[in-house]
Amino acid sequence: MNRRKFVFTSTIFLLVITVAVAGLAFFSNFTARAFVPELPNAIHYLPADSQAVFGMNVQKFIASPIYAEFMAKHGNEIGADLADFIAKTGVDPRQDITYIIAAGRPAQHKGAGVVIAVGRFDATAITSFISSKGTPINVDYKGANVLMVPEADGTKLEKGIAFLSGSEVALGDLESLRAVLDVRSHSLPSIDSTSLADLLKNLNSNEMFWFAGNPASILAKAPANAPFVPSMSAIQSIFGTLNLTSRVEGKITVTATSDVAAGQLADFVRGLIALGNLASAQNPDLAELIRNVQIAQRTNQFDVTVNFPMDLIHKLEASKAQFIK
C-alpha cells in the first residue's frame, strides 16, 4: 500500500465499510422515523447546492451483526494498518467516531466530494501521523488548518483533511473542503436554506443509515431513451433510513409532482415487484423477500417498506455462489 493510500485508508476506513454495504442498502430500501433525536450539527456545514446527503450512525453499525461478519472476513486485511493508526493518533475509529456524513453536489469531477466524521479527535496527533507518512501541504483557510496530501509525483493535491473542531473532521478534495469552511464561516449559504433541510427533519440519527436527496441531477445525466426516465422524472424528492440487525427493516418515502404522478410511480414499482415475483418462482428465498416489500400511497407521496430476516440475504448469497459454481 503506497503512502497516500495508507494514510486515507486508515483515517476513513469506516467509510469503506459503508461502501461495502451500500449495495445492500439500495437493494433493501430504507426505514424512516421522524424528528428526534436530531441529526449531527455537522449537517449545517453542508453547502446549499448539496443535492443528496447520506449519514451513518457508526456506533450502531459497529454493534450490528453485519459489522461482525465484515470483520470476520476482512479484519486481517485492515488490522495492521488500523493498529498503527490507533497507536500513533490515539483515535480508534470503532470507538471514537459517532457519525459519518457525506454530501453530493452538482458539477463535481470524479472523486470529488466531502465526508465529515463526528467524534473525538486529536488534531496534533493526527497531523503528526500524516506527516510521518509523507510531506503534507498546509493550507490555511477561513481559520482552519487544511492538510493536503500530494500525489506520488508531488504535482497534484487530490485529497485533504480539515479540522473543523475537536469533534469534527472533514475529508475530501480542496474545493469541497473550502465549500464546507465557507459555510461554517457564513460566507456561503448552507443546506439549511434549501428544501433538502425540510427532508432531513424527517430523519432520525438513531437509525443506522439515513439519506435524503433530490434525484433531478442524477436523472438529468441518464440517457433520454432509458425506460425508467419518463417515470422517474416526476420525482421531486426522496428520503429514508435503513437498519441492518438480525432483520433488514426499511422505508423509503418518495414525493412526486402530483397525486397522479405518485400513483404512476407506485404502479411502476409494483410492476418491478411483479417481475421479481415471476423471476422468483423457482427460488423460495427470493420469493419471501419480495413478499416483504410493501407499497402505500398517500396524496403525492408513496412509501416502499421492507422487513425481512437478514438470514434471507445469506441464503440468497449462498444460492448465488452455488449457481456460479
70 and 120 assigned to the same domain: yes
Q: Are residues 185 and 220 in the same domain?
A: no
Structure confidence at residue 3 (pLDDT): 42
The pLDDT assigned to 321 comes to: 54
DSSP state of 187: S
Q: Are residues 159 and 226 in the same domain?
A: no
Position 33 confidence tier, pLDDT thresholds 50, 70, 90: very low
Query: What is the rounded average pLDDT for all residues in the chain?
Result: 78
Mean pLDDT of 189-200: 88
Pull the grid cell for residue 169: 473532521
Residues 75 and 161 in one domain: yes
pTM, rounded to two decimals: 0.77
Q: Is residue 151 part of a domain?
A: yes
What mean pLDDT do residues 161-168 have? 90
Task: Order across the sheet with 235-244: list the strands.
Answer: 137-141, 144-150, 157-165, 168-172, 114-119, 97-104, 52-57, 209-213, 235-244, 247-256, 301-309, 293-298
57, 137: one domain: yes
Helix (H/G/I), strand (E/B), else coil: 117: strand
DSSP assignment of 239-251: EEEEEESSEEEEE
* More confident position, 110 or 33: 110
Res. 99: pLDDT tops 90: yes
Provide the pLDDT confidence category of residue 108 given band limits of 50, 70 and 90: low
pLDDT value at residue 36: 36
Same domain, yes or no: 48 and 137: yes
Residue 228 has what pLDDT?
Answer: 55
- As a whole number, mean pLDDT of residues 67-96 equals 84
- pLDDT, residue 231, reads 61
Decide if 198 is inside a domain.
no
Q: Do 308 and 256 belong to one domain?
A: yes
Domain that holds residue 135: 1-25+39-191
CA distance 301 to 304: 10
Say if CB 251 and CB 240 are below 8 A apart: yes
